[in-house]
Amino acid sequence: MPPEECANRETMSRSSDDSEKSHSSFSKVPTRKFAILMAYCGRGYHGMQINHGRPDLPTIESTLISALVQAQCVPEIYSTERKWLQFQRCARTDKGVSALGQLVSVRLQTPCTNLVEKINSYLPPEVRILGVKRVTRGFNSKTLCNGRSYSYMVPTFALSRCAPSTPDSSFRLPQEDFHHLNGLLSFYEGTHNFHNFTSQKAAEDPSAWRHMLHVSCCQPFVWHGIEFASILVTGQSFMLYQIRKMVGLIIAVARGIVPGSFLSQCVQMDKVNIPPAPGLGLVLDRVHFESYNRRYGGDGLHQTLTWEETLPSTMAFWEEKIMPVILEGELEDLSMCYWLDKLGRHCFLGFSR
């Protein structure tokens, strides 16, 4: 065997041995499963999940794991050998999308009493840990989640056919339009085939069927003279682009671009091309663990996964880090205005106007 090949094999062997020793060493340290409750502003990040094809792109997950390493919650080797972490996120968020109530599960070394403050000291201001809670050994934040709640903030001029297509400080959404909008949104509640509300999903795919628990619009509010409203969506689970397409279709109906009867057509087997609304207004509000809490929350060992105790921190983060980004971003970039202009020329396949 050539000397160079021998040297390469020896180097690879040492690297493998070092990795195994690091994991073996960590395995001897008492480790337990924890749930990390967190909030973040998604601006400047390429989504929640690490892109293994582009590890150079900043993500919320890579930022969090780096902080866990620096806080000595996990060994540095785990920043690359993530399978030992048993890391699982409750929900993915796309590029630029923020979260007020995200939850991840991960194995940690037994934490100190000031763990939240310690981890936050290694995080940028736009990413905050709200709590760290002990969970069961087999806990998986994705599979044990009962539901996910999102909000989508939209300027109200996008929700009425009698409104202009640009911000207008004199426009206020008429009450009849507000009630009509909530009637349209209620169509989504229940179980439907949402294959048209994602990408590359066949109508025959069983995973296209999703159950929506609640969909409604809150009363509008005025910010810097422009009226906005939040559309709230709670479901068991969601597919890629699903909520943005749900909102996009409702806007098309509310503005009279397609009739209300088109809603039912979009959950049938025929293919329809629904444009997703801009990503700026979308926020992951909460994730829900009612079944887990009923089974383990009162056993004296594990903690309930609720958000009540985080409300002061959550609201402060919302007002300081997320809401201004969405509202100022909309008024500066006019993303909804540009999108509405394209929507007027959009071809919904299978529908002729």
Amino acid at 327: L
- Residue 270 falls in the annotated catalytic set: no
Pairing of strands 221-223, 98-109: unpaired
CB 150 within 8 Å of CB 283: yes
The partner residues of 102 in beta bridges, in order of sequence, read: 38
Measuring CA to CA, which residue among 277, 283, 287 is closest to residue 318? 283
The CA distances from residue 167 to 162, 190, 223, 336, in Å, are: 13, 34, 12, 9
Q: What is the end-to-end Cα distance of the chain in Å, rounded?
A: 73
Considering the candidates 17, 94, 285, 299, report the single residue annotated as catalytic: 94
CB 228 within 8 Å of CB 134: no
- The SS3 assignment for 141 reads coil
Alpha-carbon gap, residue 282 to 228, rounded angstroms: 13
**Which residues are catalytic, by number?**
94
